[in-house]
Chains A and B, each alone.
Chain A
Amino acid sequence: MSFKRISLILTLVFVFSFIESAFAKPIEIHWWHAMRGSRGEVVQKIVDDFNKSQSDYKVIATYKGEYDEVLNAAIAAVRAGKQPHIIQVFEVGTQTMMMSGMVYPVYKLMDDYGYKIDWSRYLQPVLSYYVNEDNKLMSMPFNSSTPVMYYNVDMFKKAGIGRLSKEKPITWDELGEITEKIAKLGVKGGLVTAWQSWTQVENYSAIHDLPFATKANGYEGLDVQLTINNDKVVNHIARLKKWMDDGNRFFYGGQKYQGPKSEFIAQNAGVYIDSISAIAKLQSSVKDFEWDIAPLPVESWMAEPQNSIIGGASLWVFNGKKKNEYKGVAAFLKYLANTDVQILWHKETGYFPITLDAYEKLKSEGYYEKYPYQEVGIKQLTRRNPTKSSRGIRLGYFVQIRNIINEELELVWNGKKTAKEALDSAVERSNIKLSEFAKTYK
Chain B
Amino acid sequence: MLRKRSYFKSKGLAYFLVLPQIIITATFFYWPAIRGIVSSFMRSDPFGLKSTFIWFDNYINLFKDPLYLKSIGITLMFSGSVALLSISCGLFLASMANRALRFTALTRTLLIWPYAVAPAISGILWLFLLHPSYGVVAIWLNRVFGLNWNPLLSSRDAMLMVVLASSWKNISYNFVFFLAGLQAIPKSLIEAAAMDGASPFRRFWSITFPLLSPTMFFVTVMTIIFSFFESFGVIHAVTQGGPGGSTNILVYKVYQDGFIGLNLGSSSAQSVVLMLLIVFITILQFKFVERKVQYTG
Contact = CB atoms under 8 A, between A and B. Distances in A.
Contact of A413 (B153, B260, B261): B153
Count class of interface residues, chain A: 35 or more
B43 interface: yes
A411 interface: yes
Contacts of B241: 407
A329 to B, nearest CB: 20
Contacts of A410: 153, 242-244
Contacts of A68: 259-260
Contacts of B44: 440
B156 to A, nearest CB: 10
B260 A407 contact: no
B107 interface: no
Interface in B27-65: 43-50, 61, 65
A341 interface: no
A78 B47 contact: yes
Interface of A, helix, strand, loop or mixed by DSSP: helix
B133 A262 contact: yes
Nearest to B48: A79
Contacts of A254: 133, 152
B98 interface: no
Interface string A235-273: 000000000000000001111000100110010100000
B154 interface: yes
A367 B44 CA distance: 49
Interface in A404-441: 406-408, 410-411, 413-414, 416, 429, 432-433, 436, 439-441
Interface in A78-104: 78-79, 96, 99-102
A397 interface: yes
Interface string A264-292: 00101000000000000000000000000
Contact of B49 (A101, A262, A403, A429): A101
A435 to B, nearest CB: 10
Interface string B232-262: 0000000011111100000000001101111
A102 B49 CA distance: 9
Contacts of B133: 253-254, 259, 262-263, 266, 268
Contacts of A96: 46, 262
A79 B263 CA distance: 16
Nearest to A432: B61
B25 to A, nearest CB: 22
Contacts of A411: 243-244
Contacts of A414: 153-155, 243-244
Contact of A100 (B43, B46, B259): B46
Given A72-B259, A408-B244, A432-B61, A101 B153 contact: no
Given A410-B242, A411-B243, A441-B50, 9 more contacts: A72-B259, A75-B47, A102-B49, A255-B242, A266-B134, A400-B257, A403-B260, A433-B263, A436-B266
Pick the 3 closest A-B CB pairs, nearest first. A400-B261, A411-B244, A410-B243
Interface of A: 68, 71-72, 75, 78-79, 96, 99-102, 252-255, 259, 262-263, 266, 268, 397, 399-400, 403, 406-408, 410-411, 413-414, 416, 429, 432-433, 436, 439-441
